[in-house]
Amino acid sequence: MSAADPHRLPSSVAREDEHLLVAAAKNGNDASFEELVNRYERKILRLTRNITGNQEDAEDAMQDAFMKAYAHLDGFQGDSRFYTWLVRIAANEALMRLRRRRPGQFSLDQPLEGDKDLMPRELEDWRPSPEREYAQAEIQQILGHAVEKLEPEYRIVLALRDVEELSTQETAEALGISVSAVKSRLLRARLKLRDKLSRHFRRGGLN
């Protein structure tokens, strides 16, 4: 995006103006909607990528999410943040594509069986501060691989709950599942992520 783009507001504009942009967009000011897109397109692509695990599907889901948000802007009541509303639309688009690509391969609401697999396998100290020992780009790469290797149902709750920082209730609503289904998957997702990161961050681990 070039600095000369008329739709781009200066970065000094506070994030608190989101509701003003939304109100203007709802009143038919398309430039305001485009500014909202500029603001959130990278984050929404990260979300759809985290859910689908596939770049092509992620890009399509992102585009369709913004198109739907534009078409249904009148339906946004303002009882949540605009971004949370957008996340729900994008998560839906991404899930649809994931289900199409992997039919019947994962379930977000089936009860998880027992807790045999719950106990962590990797029990070694980590290096004191991974962030100081690895460059940011390396951390991102390690994290990206670890998240990609998680089963979809774990990747999805992690993406909504811990990356987009939706509440447990909002995550449950976005996915159309119960709060307890979110919690049981979130616990496993976090433990599995820790396990995978341990292989890199433990003392004397992979480089």
Partner 1 sequence: MNCKGVIRELSNYIDGELEPAIKEELERHLQHCEDCTMILDQTKKSIEILCDSEPIPLPPDLHERLHSALRERMGKKSD
Contact set with partner 1 (CB under 8 A): 1, 30, 33-34, 37, 41-43, 45-46, 49, 59, 62-63, 66-67, 70-71, 115, 118-120, 123, 125-126, 130-131, 136, 139-140, 143, 147, 158, 162-163, 165, 168, 183, 186-187, 190-191, 193-194, 197-198, 201
Identify which of residues 88 and 200 has a Cβ nearer to partner 1 in the complex.
200
What is the closest distance, in whole angstroms, from the C-beta atom of residue 103 to partner 1 in the complex? 27
What is the closest distance, in whole angstroms, from the C-beta atom of residue 3 to partner 1 in the complex? 14
Identify which of residues 21 and 45 has a Cβ nearer to partner 1 in the complex.
45
Q: How many CB atoms lie within 10 A of CB 204?
A: 8
13 token code pair: 């504009």
DSSP letters, the chain, are --TT-TTPPPTTS-GGGHHHHHHHHHTT-HHHHHHHHHHHHHHHHHHHHHHH--HHHHHHHHHHHHHHHHHTGGG--SSS-HHHHHHHHHHHHHHHHHHHHSTTS--SSSPPP-STTTS-S---PBPS-HHHHS-HHHHHHHHHHHHHHS-HHHHHHHIIIIIS---HHHHHHHHT--HHHHHHHHHHHHHHHHHHHHHHHBTT---
The DSSP bridge partners found for residue 126 are 202
What is the closest distance, in whole angstroms, from the C-beta atom of residue 135 to partner 1 in the complex? 13
Identify which of residues 101 and 194 has a Cβ nearer to partner 1 in the complex.
194
Identify which of residues 66 and 85 has a Cβ nearer to partner 1 in the complex.
66
- What is the CB-side half-sphere exposure of residue 112 using CA atoms within 13 A? 20
What is the closest distance, in whole angstroms, from the C-beta atom of residue 41 to partner 1 in the complex? 6
What is the closest distance, in whole angstroms, from the C-beta atom of residue 51 to partner 1 in the complex? 13
Let me know: does 82 contact 65? Beta carbons within 8 Å: no
Identify which of residues 110 and 169 has a Cβ nearer to partner 1 in the complex.
169
Identify which of residues 20 and 31 has a Cβ nearer to partner 1 in the complex.
31
What is the closest distance, in whole angstroms, from the C-beta atom of residue 138 to partner 1 in the complex? 12
